[in-house]
Chains A and B, each alone.
Chain A
Amino acid sequence: MTILFYILSALAVLSAVAVISFRQPVYSALSLVVTLFSLAGLYLTLHAEFLAIIQILTYAGAILILFIFIIMLLNLNKDELKEQTPALWRRIVLALLGGFLFAGLWWGVKKLSGDSAKLTEGFGSIASSGKLLFTEYVLAFEISGILLTVALIGALVLAKRRLNYLPEEKN
């Protein structure tokens, strides 16, 4: 169990670093996929199957595909090469700052006690999650549904190209 944790977390961290350091956005997108997969694995070790699958299904399966869609459609690769890597000092400073951030938060977290509570049967499975979703969180569930619709329509309106050479569709 612990080895699995170490492997997955190492993988996650490495790919996370890869996400921000690759010059080509496609590679960062792919490394993000790897991060997500490793996180999904971690969720499994944390008895959260439902979320692991949701993670893969929505995150890796939908959101990142959207990303790659955008990258492919806008074939950004060419002009990305122009982006010169940020000055060395900026990266060092940022790294330091990140480190400082990490240390600060870690210092906060360090104090937490490590004992794990007894888990109920079917903890984290789809059934229990489903039950919870439709009993306690039903309102939130509906609102998120609405939210997604709104996002859908919003994205559509925003990115819809006003094709001026096509007669306006008569809907």
Chain B
Amino acid sequence: MLTMSLKILVPFVLILQILPIFIWMERKGASYIQDRRGPNRANIFGIRLGGMVHTLPDVIKLIFKEDIIPTRANRFIYTIAPFISMTVACMTFAVIPWAAPLTLDSGSFALQALEMNVGILYIFAIASIGVYGVMLAGWGSNNKYSLMGGLRASSQMISYELTLSLSIVGVLILSGSLELGAIVESQSANILSWNFIRQPLGCILFLVAAVAETNRTPFDLPEAEAELVAGYHTEYSSLKFALFYMAEYVNMIIASALIATLFFGGWQVPFISTELLREHADLIIHYSLLAAGVGSILGSIPLFLYKSRVRYGDARDTETKKISIAMFVLGIALVAWRLGAGEFFFEGLAAQIAAAALQLGIFIAKILFFCWFFVWIRWTLPRFRYDQLMQLGWKAMLPLALLNLFITAGVYLLV
């Protein structure tokens, strides 16, 4: 039971860690795209970490805001809607593998919360349940605009769900199984075997559908400020709004995780296969740590010399200096440790764990990259009109997905 609970814990913790980074990235990215500084005020003892600390007060703000329930709203549905969306969002992460399965004496130990051979279908099922949250929220808050917003959001999510599922069928054909672990396995040969190369069209379609699925930018009609104020969650305040907000970001994380696992080889380290990785795991770690130490030392120096023009008159001015000193000390320690202890020597399980750790790191890097991708799209592309959105969904992407399916099936059969 322990391993089972551990397996569940890891994805959950993973999401909760990535979430604040993603929020920070979103705000920082948006500001830099809009040529402005992002959040840089909040600090703990002067350390601002480039605005990342700001998310903490954000969260606290949301929690402690006054919780207003509109009169004559359907109280039960109004309150339950955010919880549904949040739980649904978190549940999908269970299926995503974050590292190669460990070969233990008692059989392989999959490093994913739920090793289901229905895999992908599970995700889509849960995604379709997600629609409930949105609809009930829109309807529960007894406000015409939120109702319209809820309707639009749900209809959009439903129609793009179709394209989403059809676009990945190509991948399924190639990988031969719905189980995500197996899909990643099928991409393990080399960078060329990654699906975004074998399935370029599928990848693009999946990407666009994923963005639409999470109601992000080009497709974020429901929350379009201009027309529907804040869409289905206009009436929500404090914690319930926070839940919706987080649910949205979790959805995006999952979308990017899916993109990574399905098309970009999941936890596959680009050029090193798992076995290779396992043999040289100790070597790689040793050298990477070493590189990290040297890097931090070199990095701390320019930081130290940097004079910021802005004087806040409080602890923030000296922040860069304190950071640069910290980096310097850390780098020295790393280098010393690495050189002193010499190469690690893992064999058997320890090697596998080390390899898994590496793969996990790569996997997180991929997710972050795609999160950045989402943010990037959001603050560059203009918004679609509703009928254009539907037009694109039904008349453009669906045929393309079918075409892609057709081609891959044809090729697969002939080859």
Contact = CB atoms under 8 A, between A and B. Distances in A.
A126 interface: yes
A41 to B, nearest CB: 13
B135 A57 contact: no
Q: Is the interface of A mostly helix, strand, loop or mixed?
A: helix
Given A26-B74, A65-B131, A53 B125 contact: yes
Nearest to A62: B128
Contacts of B76: 27
Given A53-B122, A53-B125, A125 B131 contact: no
Q: Is the interface of B mostly helix, strand, loop or mixed?
A: helix
Interface in A115-154: 125-127
A30 B124 CA distance: 20
**Interface magnitude class on chain B:** 20 to 34
A56 interface: yes
Interface stretch (B36-44, B96-104, B113-121, B254-262): B113-121
Contact of A56 (B125, B131, B154): B125
A50 B129 contact: no
Contacts of A62: 128, 158
Given A57-B125, A61-B125, A61-B131, A125 B117 contact: yes
Interface in A58-97: 60-62, 65, 68-69, 72-73, 77
Contact of B118 (A26, A27, A50, A61): A50
B139 interface: yes
> Of residues B121, B126, B138, B150, which shows the largest number of chain A Cβ atoms within 10 Å of its Cβ?
B121
A33 interface: yes
A126 B118 contact: yes
**Interface magnitude class on chain A:** 20 to 34
Contacts of A56: 125-126, 128-129
Contact of A126 (B74, B121, B124, B138): B121
Interface of A: 26-27, 30, 33, 49-50, 53-54, 56-57, 60-62, 65, 68-69, 72-73, 77, 125-127
Contacts of A33: 132
A148 B132 CA distance: 23
Nearest to B130: A61
28 contacts: A26-B74, A26-B77, A26-B139, A30-B136, A53-B121, A53-B122, A54-B121, A56-B129, A57-B121, A57-B125, A60-B129, A61-B125, A61-B129, A61-B131, A62-B158, A65-B128, A65-B132, A65-B135, A68-B132, A69-B154, A72-B138, A72-B139, A72-B147, A72-B151, A73-B151, A125-B118, A126-B117, A127-B117
B183 interface: no
A65 B158 contact: yes
A49 B115 CA distance: 13
B171 interface: no
B171 to A, nearest CB: 15
Contacts of B125: 53, 56-57, 60-61
Given A30-B77, A53-B121, 13 more contacts: A26-B139, A30-B136, A49-B117, A56-B125, A57-B128, A60-B125, A60-B128, A61-B124, A62-B158, A65-B132, A69-B154, A72-B138, A126-B117
A77 B139 CA distance: 11
A68 B135 contact: yes
B253 interface: no
